[in-house]
Structure 1
């Protein structure tokens, strides 16, 4: 297996060397040694970094991503956990679609003032109610 130094890993993965050092510190990746002061990695670290990037894009914390790698560094995905995250993404997508539609309406509304537009006022009232519910839910969690 090919060995890459930290600079090569950074260049090939697009992950800054400082992030690589941090990922190593928190146990997400492991160096196989050093050449002088430069950390050395097996080339399979590139796949692991892609998985970490995918997890971050999906909204997982680094701690959650670390939990997806077993103690033997093998990938150990919890299907129920992944379904839960997918459900959360569905909710976020719905909220973003409502927000997008609201912005489009506000941009295109022919009313002289947005506050005179009944649709805009209804949207604002609905958003306010949802905000209160989210704050109450966050306070109980």
Structure 2
């Protein structure tokens, strides 16, 4: 079943509108907010350290609970220290002093494909989608 003339016109108009669409730029307040937010650094060394500290903190909490019958003051002190250790380990990626923990600042330059993949992963999702959109429009 073929399309009528009106349907063909509507379809052509819709295609024209889709080809004219540009990727919207975020408002100024959103872009400034994005610049202020820091991307969390989750290197393998940092994740391993965080996991170890969480386990140590939980162990201290359990020890604090288990020594409650011996000394209540000591039990509370050990449990609070365990809680602080867990809290510190969970907030490590947000701490600016520890932001570079586990990251090798002297990365060796590898093949061009690996470096382009690394640069793509650092860019935001919106930027990658905008680039894909531009590439598709250039092909037409």
Query: So what's the TM-score if we normalise by structure 1?
Result: 0.24
| The structure with more strand, counted as a fraction of residues | 1
Query: So what's the TM-score if we normalise by structure 2?
Result: 0.25
| The structure with more helix, counted as a fraction of residues | 2
